[in-house]
């Protein structure tokens, strides 16, 4: 707004300088000198006023320029804060704090096995084996004694133990005694064939017949053949 004032002051000062110079050069009247002096003083005052006003204006403009960005920024912040869309954090309500640990997710666990009580029928115990009777024990001892003396077939030894002419044991006791000893009757047939051959001469067929006949030793045919063959006949 005051941009023309310095120019005016400059012009007035120039005029004052020129008038003063002319007055001094030509020794003009005092009135002219007074006018020039007045103009010079006026120009000086005007320049001082203009300089002060211009400096104040420039300083105000600088201060305004310096504070304007901050004011503008603050206003923009206030305006933005008023119209800012609430963020998700502000919109989302804060979760209520819990005092205890988070609840455990229930898991399905297999429970202890259910014991089913069943009514069991009482186990039927096998009847206890009867102890070997004294008669059977004695029959076993008699059979062992006979086998130490001579050879016997199964049939012949049972007959010897159970007959009235022999030991007189019951047929059950005699059979138990012979079977409990697990006798090798093939070897008994061999012993019997050897004994016969030591006493007298026999043909192969005659000795086999003697060993297997009921009137003789009572071995089976296969046992008699084994014994005769082993005896070398």
Q: Residue 193 pLDDT > 90, yes or no?
A: yes
The pLDDT tens digits for 49-100 are 766 766 666 555 545 555 554 455 555 565 555 444 444 444 444 445 555 5
Residue-level pLDDT at 82: 44
pTM: 0.45
User: What is the structure's pLDDT at 78?
Assistant: 59
Distance of CA 57 to the CA centre of its chain: 84
Q: Give the C-alpha separation, 182 to 177, whole Å.
A: 9
pLDDT tens digits along 89-141: 444 444 455 555 555 555 555 555 555 655 555 555 544 556 889 999 999 99
CA 155 to CA 215: how far, in whole Å? 11
Instruction: Give the model's pLDDT for residue 228.
Output: 96
pLDDT at 171: 95
Q: How would DSSP label each residue in 117-162?
A: ---PPPP-PPPPPPPPPHHHHHHHHHHHHHHHHS---HHHHHHHHH
Categorize the per-residue pLDDT at 9 as very low, low, confident or very high, splitting at 50, 70 and 90.
low
Residues 6+ apart with CB under 8 A from 207: 193, 196, 197, 224, 228, 231, 233
DSSP E strand stretches across the chain: none
* Rounded average pLDDT over 185-209: 95
| DSSP secondary structure code for residue 184 in this structure | -
Query: Is a pLDDT exceeding 80 seen at residue 205?
Result: yes
| Predicted confidence band of residue 166 (pLDDT cuts 50, 70, 90) | confident
DSSP 113: P
Q: What is the Cα–Cα distance from 211 to 89, expressed in whole angstroms?
A: 119
Quote the pLDDT of residue 194: 95
């Amino acid at each position: 707004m005051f941009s023309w004032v310095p120019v005016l002051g400059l012009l007035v000062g120039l005029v004052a300088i020129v008038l003063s110079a002319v007055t001094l050069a030509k020794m003009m009247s005092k009135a002219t000198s007074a006018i020039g002096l007045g103009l010079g003083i006026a120009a000086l005052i005007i320049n001082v006023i203009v300089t002060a006003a211009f400096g104040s204006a420039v300083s105000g403009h600088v201060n305004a320029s310096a504070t304007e960005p901050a004011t503008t920024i603050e206003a923009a912040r206030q305006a933005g804060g008023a119209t800012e869309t609430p963020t998700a954090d502000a919109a989302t309500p804060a979760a209520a704090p819990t005092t205890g640990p988070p609840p455990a997710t229930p898991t399905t666990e297999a429970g202890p096995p259910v014991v089913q009580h069943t009514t069991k029928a009482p186990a039927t115990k096998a009847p206890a084996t009867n102890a070997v009777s004294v008669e059977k024990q004695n029959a076993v001892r008699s059979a062992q004694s006979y086998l130490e003396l001579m050879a016997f077939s199964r049939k012949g030894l049972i007959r010897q133990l159970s007959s009235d002419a022999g030991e007189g044991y019951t047929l059950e006791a005699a059979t138990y005694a012979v079977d409990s000893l697990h006798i090798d009757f093939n070897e008994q047939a061999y012993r019997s064939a050897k004994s016969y051959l030591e006493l007298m001469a026999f043909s192969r067929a005659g000795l086999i017949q003697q060993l297997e006949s009921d009137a003789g030793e009572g071995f089976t045919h296969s046992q008699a053949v084994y014994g005769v063959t082993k005896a070398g006949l």
